[in-house]
Amino acid sequence: MSLAQRRILLGVSGGIAAYKSCDLVRRLRGLGAEVRVVMTENATRFVGPATFQALSGEPVRISLWDDSAEAAMGHIELARWAERILIAPASAELLARLAHGHANDLLSTLCLASAAPLHVAPAMNQQMWAHPAVQANLQTLRQRGVLVWGPAVGEQACGDVGSGRMLEPEALRDAMVASFGGGMLDGLRVLISAGPTYEDIDPVRFIGNRSSGRMGFALAEAAALEGAQVTLVAGPVGLPTPAGVGVRVDVRSAAQMHAAVLNAAAEADIYIGTAAVGDYRPAEVAKRKVKKQAGADLVLQLAENPDILASLSAQAAHPFLVGFAAETHDVLIYAHEKLQRKGLDMIAANQVGEGLGFEASENALSVVWDGGSIDLARASKSVLARQLVGIVAERFRAARP
Ligand code: C5P
């Protein structure tokens, strides 16, 4: 990994996560990047400019009206100098100003004056993050091509737990490296489905499964780090969008997932189906809550859901298809059978149970394709995801040179 001679403008806005950005400067410089820091007035309440100045080895800019700084490198020059602008932390206030095109301080002015790709790493209280106003601003920024990295879920400085923590400096550094290319999936469009599906019985009940979505989300992150343009179709999960994922589509049922995946597949080079799609759905969804009839059993009629992978492989032109097979026994036998039956290019099979697979943070995979296989030993899902993405990239290039 290298960022040698890359010119990165780091914008720091007002939030307690600003202290983590000190480490981020060190990590970016550690890979050879030139980093210049621009702070908002509010950011200086959390970390002193002298700290960033010492870490970046460059003067820190705060105001548009600093004559000596403008004489050294004017703000337009600074905007042109930057190859990337990363705002970390990006506060709700700064995101709002960016969404509305304000230019009322140096940092927001630079964002308008620069042609460099803009990346933001939001950090705020979980309630603020969930606010429709914040989400609407992010939507606007995303539509303009701004890449939103994070936030992560976890404990917050204010004591809350939820989504809104700034991504760790290491993850931001890796995403920055990936943004300059050189990855195994550079220029490829990867579509990933993740999580369970919920099949409604009535307005309050559904049939679901225990998939957490973590394997698919880890794969989405790993694929983005290898330079892919990633679209993530997610069933009902409480997971934040990983850094670098371009588009996320949230769905609930297998039918919705089927539609979303088929819709996006025309634009994809690779489809990885990690989702645990419900095989059946209630034949009819009751409009009103089904009432309990004491002393009588209830029979639920189920209708078969369409198989997403099989629908794709039946199409004349389709992406490179990677399936998953979670089994409790005879894993490899079922994997080979599924590879053939669904017309897949590759399948990743795992045994569920004993702290592995569904709901667990670790997994172990056997990856099988026509003419080969490889076992990936037990590891965290993020480690496995990086390994699997490497194999997918290799097999894709072999199958479609
Ligand atoms: O046959 P089984 O459901 O075990 O196969 C699992 C694989 O098939 C996963 O990759 C899953 O995403 C995919 N699948 C699908 N559509 C379904 C059911 C499963 O694409 N309706």
pLDDT at 358: 65
Q: State the virtual CA torsion across 66, 72, 75, 76 in degrees, nearest 10.
A: 150
Q: Give the nearest ligand 1 atom to 261 CA.
A: 20
Q: Considering the domain 189-287+295-399 in this protein, what is its CATH number?
A: 3.40.50.10300
Judged by average pLDDT, the poorest of 114-123, 156-165, 220-229 is 156-165
Give the integer Cα–Cα distance in Å for 36 and 10: 6
pLDDT at 31: 96
324 close to ligand 1 (CB < 6 Angstrom): yes
Interacting residues of 172 by C-beta distance below 8 A, sequence separation 6+: 24, 86, 88, 121, 149, 243
pLDDT at 355: 66
> Cβ(321)–Cβ(340) under 8 Å?
no
Q: For 168-192, what is each residue's pLDDT tens digit?
A: 999 999 999 989 988 899 989 999 9
183 close to ligand 1 (CB < 6 Angstrom): no
pLDDT at 327: 84
- Mean pLDDT of the region 105-112: 97
Percentage above 90 pLDDT, the chain = 77
Q: State the virtual CA torsion across 288, 284, 265, 390 in degrees, nearest 10.
A: 90
pLDDT at 87: 98
Q: Give the nearest ligand 1 atom to 342 CA.
A: 8
Interacting residues of 91 by C-beta distance below 8 A, sequence separation 6+: 13, 14, 15, 40, 42, 122, 123, 124
277 close to ligand 1 (CB < 6 Angstrom): yes
Q: Is the pLDDT of residue 356 over 70?
A: no
Banded pLDDT at 260 (limits 50, 70, 90)? very high
CA–centroid distance, 111 to ligand 1, in Å, is 44
pLDDT at 10: 98
Domain(s) of CATH 3.40.50.1950: residues in the chain = 7-179
Across the chain, what does the average pLDDT equal?
A: 93
Q: For 303-348, what is each residue's pLDDT tens digit?
A: 999 999 999 999 999 999 999 998 888 888 999 999 999 999 999 9
pLDDT at 357: 62
Which residue has better confidence, 25 or 359? 25
| Residue 177 main-chain phi, psi, to 5 deg | -60, -45
Amino acid at 145: G
Domain(s) of CATH 3.40.50.10300: residues in the chain = 189-287+295-399
* Candidates 72, 112, 136, 158; catalytic one: 158
147 close to ligand 1 (CB < 6 Angstrom): no
CA–centroid distance, 376 to ligand 1, in Å, is 21
* Residue that the structure tokens 């890449």 belong to: 147
pLDDT at 354: 65
350 close to ligand 1 (CB < 6 Angstrom): no
Give the integer Cα–Cα distance in Å for 348 and 110: 46
Q: For 192-237, what is each residue's pLDDT tens digit?
A: 999 999 999 999 999 999 899 999 999 999 999 899 999 999 999 9
Atom 5 (ligand 1): residue with closest C-alpha? 325
Banded pLDDT at 67 (limits 50, 70, 90)? confident
> Cβ(246)–Cβ(192) under 8 Å?
no
325 close to ligand 1 (CB < 6 Angstrom): yes
Written in H, E and C, the secondary structure of the chain is: CCCCCCEEEEEECCCCCHHHHHHHHHHHHHCCCEEEEEECCHHHHCCCHHHHHHHHCCCCECCCCCHHHHHHCCHHHHHHHCCEEEEEEECHHHHHHHHCCCCCCHHHHHHHHCCCCEEEEECCCHHHHHCHHHHHHHHHHHHCCCEECCCEEEECCCCCEEEEECCCHHHHHHHHHHHCCCCCCCCCEEEEEECECCEEEECCEEECCCCCCHHHHHHHHHHHHCCCEEEEEECCCCCCCCCCCCEEEECCCHHHHHHHHHHHHCCCCEEEECCECCCEEECCCCCCCCCCCCCCCCCCCEEECCCHHHHHHCCCCCCEEEEEEEECCCHHHHHHHHHHHCCCCEEEEEECECCECCCCCEEEEEEEECCEEEEEEEEEHHHHHHHHHHHHHHHHHHHCC
pLDDT at 69: 86
pLDDT at 271: 98
pLDDT at 76: 93
pLDDT at 51: 98
CA–centroid distance, 304 to ligand 1, in Å, is 12
- Mean pLDDT of the region 8-28: 98
Q: Considering the domain 7-179 in this protein, what is its CATH number?
A: 3.40.50.1950
Instruction: Report the predicted TM-score, pTM, of the whole model to 2 decimal places.
Output: 0.77
For the chain, the farthest-separated pair of C-alpha atoms sits apart, in whole angstroms, at: 86
> If we measure between CA atoms, which residue out of 19, 12, 24, 10 comes closest to residue 169?
24
* Residue that the structure tokens 């990633």 belong to: 230
Catalytic residue list contains 158: yes
